[in-house]
Amino acid sequence: MYRAKWRTSAQIICKNDLVLVKDENILPMLWPLAGVVDVVMGKDGVCRVSDLKTSLGNIRMAVTRLCLLPLKESVERLPPNEGSTFGPPKNNQLLRSPAKGALCRRRLLVPC
């Protein structure tokens, strides 16, 4: 009997994809961004390792430690969520920061 998680491939990483490099020692918001330069296939034809280009240089990392970022085309195909509070600020609203008293642009995070 086969294990359920090994029957299907979770994600396919290709050349020129954008990924986040997972690191259990730091918070996910601080994971470094990298571009896939090349993928290395195993004997079974499945991508196991990929070469990445980060701001600090080139590295080789296992695919299991990468988080694939969605492309613009895949995001546009998602159904619109009309009641969502996430997204860019409307009319470039400026808010006063309570800690510093300075003006700042409101930033809202897009959920993954």
pLDDT digits (tens, 9 = 90+) for 99-111: 544 444 444 444 5
Order of all β-strands in the sheet with 47-54: 57-62, 47-54, 33-41, 18-21, 66-68
Token pair of 31, please?
């994971």
Q: Report how far apart, in Å, the C-alpha atoms of 103 and of each of 94, 98, 99, 107 are.
A: 6, 10, 11, 13
Domain chopping of the chain, boundaries = 8-73
pLDDT < 50 positions in the chain: 93-97, 100-110, 112
pLDDT of residue 36: 94
- What is the Cα–Cα distance from 33 to 69, expressed in whole angstroms? 9
Q: Topology of domain 8-73, per CATH?
A: SH3 type barrels. (2.30.30)
Closest CA to 94 of 85, 102, 106, 86: 106
Q: What is the DSSP letter of 78?
A: S
**What pTM value is reported for the model?**
0.57
Closest CA to 14 of 41, 32, 33: 41
